Structure 1
Amino acid sequence: MGRIDVFVAPRPNSALIKIMTVVNRIVMLRGVPGFRDLLPFNRLAGLRGIANVRHFDFPIGEQRRLKAACGEGKATFITPNHPEFFTDWMIDKEVVSRVSPLTASWATNGVVNGLGRMMQKFWLANNLIAQIPGNSGAAKEYSVDWAMKGHGVLLHPEGGVGWHGNFVAPLLPGAVEMGLDALKRGRESDQHFKAWIAPVVWKLTFTKDVGSALARECSHVERSLKIERIAADTLPERIHHIYTTLLSRDASAYGVPSDQHASYAERQHDLVLELGRRLGQEISVDANSVDFSELLRRSRRWLKENADDGQKRVRKLMETIQRLQRVGPWAWAKPLTTQEEVAEHLKRIRNDYCKGTLRDTLNHFAPQPAGPRCAHIRVPEPLGLHAYDGSIDDALVELRRRMQEAVTGIVTELEAAGGFISYPNPFYHR
């Protein structure tokens, strides 16, 4: 117990899990009725609801589909999308409380093991599985064992938070690999044993116009990063100006020329390409012969195998490339952007660039939304590994397709109902 890099098996306490379900619903999500909209109480996150998710659009048919994939004689790995930090586990917990309350959930070792022994015991009693970087064997073993008992295991296949609610990033293979392992072991004693990968997606929308609150947050970011505001700019233009300024700073730090008249997408592409070339040189890999995901994977392996002075340069290049790539093609794909996407940009900037103050440290661990929200939750058709003959890579492509289709369906449905406040998108690039 106590060491951040040592796996300790969860010790789920059903009574505590039930209590925390209620606490999560009131304190973390919905807030306390009668106080959450009343000054000055609505300024207190616990009374307002820390994640400020007031409403759940989670149709009963969707809940039944997820519940049908869980239970005895099945190993189920629940795989939600990952658009927002902190709110992720709160919504995930609400979802599993309705379908499989004793579901185990993966979390970083910094959360499970890094907050002291008392908090470690608390998280283990809540059935959190600590992901130990570079040594996940014990966590996977526990996950397979627990899933085979019919309770379910939840993990985010996108990996880290991207702050892009309309887009599902490429998926990691962990859930599928564990599902296949569980299926193989289950079939040894029960030829009818089944293994499911059950995707879940959720999309958060504000329930009112929160433009003023977003503008205040943008002002904080500008002050924190010492970026001068252009008075005539709209809120999305201010965010675009912040990002272009940060891009120029990164290019200048590495001595890379940057065409100020080109679009953000073009300038970002050129900078990432050059930094990738330099990273390849550092680790003796031709960057033109591999894609960026493979280049970063080889760089991580290089860091493990080498302890020379080049470590600092390689690590810095990797971190810069990954940070730049967190603004992806989805950002400039459409001529309009919504206030939800504006909020995501601000949270991503604060997470990646704003450091050193208590306010930003607290925001990093528990980001505060600009106003009350609704969570629109859908359950794409689960993938039955017991009836699937494709490769792991094919399974990931299919899962991502189902998840993206469900997210796009939510957005299309809300757009048809006039549910978004939109602005011209300064990132838009044909």
Structure 2
Amino acid sequence: MSRIDTFVAPRPNPALIRAMTSVNRIVMLRGIPGFRDLLPFNRLAGLRGVSNVRHIDFPDADLERLKASCGAGKATFITPNHPEFFTDWMIDKEIVSQVSPLTASWATNGVVNGLGRLMQKFWLANNLIAQIPGNSGAAKEHSIAWALKGHGVLLHPEGGVGWHANVVASLLPGAVEMGLEALKRGRATDSNFKVWIAPVVWKLAFTGNVEAALAKECAYVEKNLKIERQATDTLPQRIHHVYSTLLARDEAASGMPFDQGASYAQRQRVLVTELSRQLGKSISADIDVADITELLRRARRWQRENTGDAERQRQVRALVDRVQRLQRVGPWACANPRIGQEEIAEHLKRIRNDYCRGGLRDTMNRFVPQPAGPRCAHIRVPEALGLHEHTGSIDDAVADLHRRMQDTVTNIVAELAANGGFIFYPNPFYRH
């Protein structure tokens, strides 16, 4: 097996972890006072703060609630939401530094193992657990053993980043499954052993009006993707036009007719159904194409088991990629009549991640996306889910965890909106 697909257990270095906590707080998040607002220094990400998170709103009550779920004599799986790439680990690291500094964190194998031997050693010393697609047994076993030692294990139950901070996507069951195994092992020696699934959610909000910076980024996307700007369009309308044009290109590539009178959501739904039908046929799967999650799961398994057919592999991979990409703009995009600057920024990052390829600038943006302006991270901690008290199924526990996370995100957004914390525009996806 290649290094990228080989699990190597983390070797946490407490001194390095403490040092990186300070680097993260200053260089990655807040920036250096006196330089972060001063030209030309504020154009340098390391002086401005790479993630440009100037303020962290983390109430004491929420911090204490999370602390109560962590520590010796219990196993804790910390499950943050996953609204943004790169900034996710920076904020997660800031959180765990205050509650359980030796928390082990799951990360993609492309980060932990895929950047060379020296970087692999660095990430393992920072206590990162490499997630190996299709072969996560060793990572899960290490996580359970680590949690039983009284250290936290952090993983994002949403899986990949969706760039939709107001909505928590469907959750994967991994944290609950590992928690139940940890409970079984802990109870073998201590009948009172407790296991907690500790959800954390955060919402980033700009501290000022960043429309000019967003418009500049939108212009870059339009130029990169060769999409002509409509002179009278507002910024949200430009985003809608970009997505509508990209959808039309996918329709044309799939031989689907363009329905001028249909909304974006209607056209997207028809195209995803057709692509799912083609995918099911390609892998000879007798399955309802409406169950796209199961179809994609089977398609990924088919790819692992049929490596000898290169042409069919290419076709299946292309269909899987297209269906996944189209689904990343979910019903939430059309749900509200207003759209905020934060949601516009998320659309732009999602488009750049999914469609802008080839250049160094876009490669860097995928790994270290740069925000349009200074932000505040609003962090809240829902009530932890005690698996030692849970009597239902794994699915019931996952649903309960999702409800707690989504309710808390919704409350943050409502509170900020009520206090004038967002700049809103009419949402063109709402009626189109």
Short-chain TM bin: over 0.9
Q: 1:410 is matched by which residue type in structure 2? A: I
**In 2, are the aligned partners of 1:2 and 1:117 still within 8 Å (CA)?**
no
- For 1:318 and 1:5, the matched residues in 2 are separated by 21
- For 1:144 and 1:207, the matched residues in 2 are separated by 40
Displacement, 1:332? 0.4
- The residue number in structure 1 matching 2:59 is 59
| Unaligned residue ranges in structure 2 (runs of 5+) | none
Q: Per-residue CA shift, 1:39-74, capped at 9, x if unaligned?
A: 000000000000000001100000000010011111
**In 2, are the aligned partners of 1:277 and 1:286 still within 8 Å (CA)?**
no
Alignment TM-score, normalising by the size of structure 1: 0.98
- For 2:336 and 2:355, the matched residues in 1 are separated by 25
CA separation of 1:48 and 1:2: change in aligned 2, threshold 3 A: farther
- The residue number in structure 1 matching 2:43 is 43
- For 1:426 and 1:254, the matched residues in 2 are separated by 25
- For 2:431 and 2:90, the matched residues in 1 are separated by 35
SS of the residue 1:196 aligns to: strand
**In 2, are the aligned partners of 1:2 and 1:116 still within 8 Å (CA)?**
no
**In 1, are the aligned partners of 2:158 and 2:169 still within 8 Å (CA)?**
yes
1:359 aligned residue (341, 361, 366): 361
CA separation of 1:429 and 1:232: change in aligned 2, threshold 3 A: closer
Displacement, 1:313? 1.1
- The residue number in structure 2 matching 1:428 is 430
Displacement, 1:287? 4.6
Q: Per-residue CA shift, 1:232-253, capped at 9, x if unaligned?
A: 0000000000000000000101
CA separation of 1:27 and 1:305: change in aligned 2, threshold 3 A: same
Q: 2:247 is matched by which residue type in structure 1? A: L
- For 2:220 and 2:362, the matched residues in 1 are separated by 10
- For 1:183 and 1:384, the matched residues in 2 are separated by 10
Q: 1:260 is matched by which residue type in structure 2? A: Q
Superposition map of 1:412-423 within 5 A: 412-423=414-425
Superposition map of 1:296-375 within 5 A: 296-306=296-306, 307-308=308-309, 309-375=311-377
Matched, 1:158 2:158: yes
Moved over 4 A (4+): none
**In 1, are the aligned partners of 2:29 and 2:52 still within 8 Å (CA)?**
yes
- The residue number in structure 2 matching 1:260 is 260
**In 2, are the aligned partners of 1:265 and 1:429 still within 8 Å (CA)?**
no
Percent of residue pairs bearing the same amino acid type = 74
- The residue number in structure 2 matching 1:89 is 89
- For 1:355 and 1:261, the matched residues in 2 are separated by 31
Alignment TM-score, normalising by the size of structure 2: 0.98
**In 1, are the aligned partners of 2:69 and 2:196 still within 8 Å (CA)?**
yes
**In 2, are the aligned partners of 1:74 and 1:194 still within 8 Å (CA)?**
yes
Displacement, 1:387? 0.5
Superposition map of 1:216-255 within 5 A: 216-255=216-255
Displacement, 1:3? 1.3
- For 1:289 and 1:224, the matched residues in 2 are separated by 34
- The residue number in structure 2 matching 1:291 is 291
**In 2, are the aligned partners of 1:277 and 1:287 still within 8 Å (CA)?**
no
- For 1:305 and 1:328, the matched residues in 2 are separated by 30
| Unaligned residue ranges in structure 1 (runs of 5+) | none
- The residue number in structure 1 matching 2:4 is 4
- The residue number in structure 2 matching 1:119 is 119
- For 2:324 and 2:15, the matched residues in 1 are separated by 41
- For 1:3 and 1:101, the matched residues in 2 are separated by 28
